C-alpha cells in the first residue's frame, strides 16, 4: 500500500459547486498533515494544515479522520481560479513528508 | 525574508555530464528536502537533510546521485553521468521544524 494515496481525478465541476477530495495514509503514527496546491509547472504552495479538530479557512475546510486514516479537503463555491492540482501530504514512516500524486480539479464557467 | 531560492531555473546537460542543482533555504530553516517530479506525475521524495547531516535518503537512487547541505552555503543535489531518464523538475523545500514545507521554484533539468 502506498504511503499516501489520492484519487487523481480529474474533477470537472461548474463554478459555484462544492467539491471534496479524500486522501488515505498508511502510517498510523503520522502526526502532520497538509494540503498543498500546485499549478501547472509551478512549485507546490501550502494551502492549509490539517488538524485533528478540523479547520476552516474561508471556502476551504480540512478534516482528519484518524480511525479511518484519511484526510479530506472541501471547497465551497468553487472559483475558476481554484483549478489546480491538490496534493495531500502526510508523515512518512521514515519521518519525512510524503506527497500524494495529487487530485486535478478543473472548474468550468 | 526571501523565499527558498533554487538555481538554475533551467539546466541543459548532455548524457554523461554532471548536473549540480543548488538550493538556498529560507532564513532560519535548517531542514531541506529534495523532490523530483516528472510531467503529469506526483512529487517523489528523494532526500531530507538537516545542516551537514543526511537524515533520510531512502528516495534517492544509490548510484550517481548525492546531496549535501554544508554548514555554510546552499544545499547541493549532484547527479553524475546524467541520462535521459534524469530529465525532470527538481524541487527543493525548506522547513524550520520538519513540518510545513516551503518550496523553491524548481530546477528543470533537460538531458539531451
Task: Give residue-wise pLDDT tens across range B56-105.
Answer: 998 999 999 999 999 889 999 999 999 999 999 999 999 987 678 999 99
Chain B residues lying within 8 Å of A44, measured CB to CB: 43, 91, 101, 103
In sequence order, what are the beta bridge partners of A34?
A49, A89
Q: What is the pLDDT of residues A20-65, one digit of tens each?
A: 999 999 888 888 899 999 998 899 999 999 988 889 999 999 999 9
Q: Which of B25, B43, B106 to mutate to test the interface with A (most CBs of A within 10 A)?
A: B43
Contacts of residue A35, Cβ cutoff 8 Å, sequence gap at least 6: A47, A48, A50, A60, A62, A71, A73, A86, A87, A88, A89
- State the DSSP code for B84: G
Is the CB of residue B106 less than 8 Å from the CB of residue B93? Answer: no
Amino acid at each position: 500500500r502506498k504511503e499516501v494515496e489520492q484519487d487523481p481525478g480529474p474533477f470537472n465541476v461548474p463554478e459555484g459547486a462544492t467539491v471534496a477530495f479524500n486522501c488515505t495514509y498508511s502510517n498510523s503514527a503520522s502526526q502532520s498533515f497538509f494540503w498543498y496546491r500546485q499549478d501547472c509547472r509551478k512549485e507546490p504552495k501550502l494551502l492549509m494544515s490539517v488538524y485533528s479538530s478540523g479547520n476552516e479557512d474561508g471556502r476551504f475546510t480540512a478534516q482528519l479522520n484518524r480511525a479511518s486514516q484519511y484526510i479530506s479537503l472541501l471547497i465551497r463555491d468553487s472559483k475558476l481560479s481554484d483549478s489546480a492540482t491538490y496534493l495531500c501530504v502526510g508523515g512518512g514512516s521514515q519521518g519525512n513528508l510524503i506527497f500524494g500524486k495529487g487530485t486535478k480539479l478543473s472548474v468550468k464557467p | 525574508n526571501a523565499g527558498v531560492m533554487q538555481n538554475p531555473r533551467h539546466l541543459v546537460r548532455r548524457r554523461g555530464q554532471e548536473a549540480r542543482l543548488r538550493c538556498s533555504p529560507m532564513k532560519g530553516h535548517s531542514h531541506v528536502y529534495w523532490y523530483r517530479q516528472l510531467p503529469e506525475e506526483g512529487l517523489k521524495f528523494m532526500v531530507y537533510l538537516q545542516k551537514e547531516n543526511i537524515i533520510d535518503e531512502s528516495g534517492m537512487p544509490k548510484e550517481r546521485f548525492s546531496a549535501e547541505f554544508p554548514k555554510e552555503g546552499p544545499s547541493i543535489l549532484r547527479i553524475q553521468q546524467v541520462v535521459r531518464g534524469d530529465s525532470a523538475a527538481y524541487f527543493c523545500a525548506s522547513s524550520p521544524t520538519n513540518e510545513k514545507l516551503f518550496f523553491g521554484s524548481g530546477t528543470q533539468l533537460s538531458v539531451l
